[in-house]
Amino acid sequence: MLLNNNLLGIIIATIYIFAIIGLAELLRKWRGYSSNFTRKVIHIGVGMMSWALIFVFTSPWPFIIMCLLFAVFLYLDFRYGFFPAMASKDKNNMGTVYFPIAAAAVVYVFWDQPPLMVAALMPLTWGDGLAPVVGRAYGKRPYYIGNHKRTYEGSLGFFVFGFLFTWLALWVMPGSPDVTPLAAILPALVVVVVTTLVEAVSIWGIDNLTITAVAILIFSFWPF
């Protein structure tokens, strides 16, 4: 039964991931959205899968193995460009490759604590997912990390959306720790303040790793 459940989980997760990629590719071709936008559709859509993991898998390991296999697949896509919807204009940006590695790390650490597992991925999913979108749409106040442009509006977008979904995950997801809406505010706030700063100074896509590492570290030591 365990094998059957996890096999079904693998099938569901794989179909979901490629459906998100397909949707992004459709948006790129049909609506003419740039890959900078469509890769964030994939980024957020795949990250939100974390909310369903405990319902479709009975063990973390099938998903972890999936993540590592997808990291290899995404590296090949990074090199050879199979899916234009995932392409980055920055040819040094391997963020899509780092994303499943970050997800695997979170699931490994927090599988038995679903609220923390999902919450630890929300700054990456929504904060990092929407920061460049907000920055391009509304950014008027730029700042630079080396040659990499950021905007204060984009960083604010990271903070607002990262906080909202981290807070929601902490108290909506079932399981241990049982966090009330009020008690979820402070840890969500601390995690998102720190990850906003980390995202601002991380370049070449390593923010997918650094944001997640910081979230794991803070939640691991937070006295829930």
| Mean pLDDT across 208-215 | 95
DSSP percent split of the chain into helix, strand, coil, nearest 5: 75, 5, 20
CB atoms closer than 10 angstroms to residue 180:
9
Answer for the pair 195, 214: CB distance below 8 angstroms, yes or no: yes
Strands (E), the chain: 142-145, 148-151
Strands (E) across 23-95 are located at: none
pLDDT at 31: 75
Looking at the DSSP bridge assignments, the partners of residue 148 are 145
Contact 45, 94 (CB under 8 A): no
Give the pLDDT confidence of 191-208 residue by residue, as tens digits. Answer: 999 999 999 888 766 889
Give the domain extent around 95: 2-221
- In tens, the pLDDT along 153-194 reads 999 999 999 999 999 999 999 999 999 999 999 999 999 999
Does residue 1 have a pLDDT over 60? no
Per-residue pLDDT of 8-25, as tens digits, reads 889 999 999 999 988 888
How many Å is the Cα radius of gyration of the chain? 17
User: Percent of the chain, pLDDT > 70?
Assistant: 92
Domain total for the chain?
A: 1
Give the sign of the dihedral formed by CA 216, CA 110, CA 164, CA 25. positive
34-52 mean pLDDT: 89
Range 198-223 average pLDDT = 91
φ, ψ dihedrals at 149, nearest 5° = -85, 135
Band of pLDDT at residue 32, cut at 50, 70 and 90 = confident
Judge whether 27 and 33 are in contact, CB under 8 Å.
yes
- The reported pLDDT for the residue numbered 3 is 46
| Mean pLDDT, range 139-151, rounded to an integer | 83
At 90 the pLDDT is: 59
Read off the amino acid at residue 65. Answer: I
Q: What is the mean pLDDT of residues 208-218?
A: 96
Please write down the long-range contacts of 119-122, taking CB distance under 8 Å and 24 or more positions apart.
119/166, 119/169, 119/170, 119/173, 119/187, 119/188, 119/191, 119/215, 119/219, 120/191, 120/212, 120/215, 120/216, 120/219, 121/47, 121/50, 121/212, 121/215, 122/47, 122/162, 122/165, 122/166, 122/168, 122/169
How far apart, in whole angstroms, are the C-alpha atoms of residue 175 and residue 40?
29
For residues 130 and 94, which has the higher predicted lDDT (pLDDT)?
130
pTM of the model: 0.91
